[in-house]
Amino acid sequence: MNKHLRCVLVGMPGSGKTTIGRQLARRMGGTFLDCDHAIEREIGCSIKQFFQQHGEPAFRDLETQILADLLRRPAPYVLSTGGGAVVRPDNRALLKAGPPVVYLHAVPEEIHRRIAHDDSRPLMQVADPLAKLKELYRDRDPLYREVARYVMETGRPTVSSLVNTLLMQLELGASEESPVGPEAG
């Protein structure tokens, strides 16, 4: 296993970033980092509470700071970003300059099916959750694609097969970036 392997997962809420990220990190022998959890540790309350008290701009400022800190962590790691991290241009620049970014792609209908009964997700606490997911997808899909080196469809394959495919892609990409020949090392 490549001890320098790192990657960042982006995608809609419910796309599988945490589930796939944990298994991928375990397979890599690395650490799973969750940007939203790191933010909550930093602020001492839920993101939802912080949003209500301080607003989205203050949250996005903090998110940019935490994202930059997490990207500097030593490898190996898998970093899961919040679904809205790509909204801010500064965050997209950080993501493009860092380790390979993987967009875990899922269509709104699939996400809705996965998380419809999860009352801990603020997105599901609206009158029409599917309409909200479609709106977010329309706005964010191009941004996820802008920062992604790889796009993985999460609709059909099992988590295990997704992790295997992703690990092969990351290892292949890492070996292609490594110097080879007599000049190496």
- Binding residue numbers for ATP: 14-19, 121
Judged by DSSP in three states, 27 sits in helix
Supply the DSSP symbol for 45: S
Separation between Cα atoms, residue 124 and residue 157, nearest integer Å: 25
- Binding residue numbers: 14-19, 36, 60, 83, 121, 140
Separation between Cα atoms, residue 70 and residue 38, nearest integer Å: 9
Separation between Cα atoms, residue 80 and residue 69, nearest integer Å: 13
Distance of CA 101 to the CA centre of its chain: 8
Helices 108-115 and 129-147: crossing angle in degrees, nearest 10, is 120
One-letter amino acid at 170 equals: L
- Binding residue numbers for Mg(2+): 18
CA angle 75/2/70 to nearest 5° reads: 15
Separation between Cα atoms, residue 95 and residue 148, nearest integer Å: 8
- Binding residue numbers for substrate: 36, 60, 83, 140
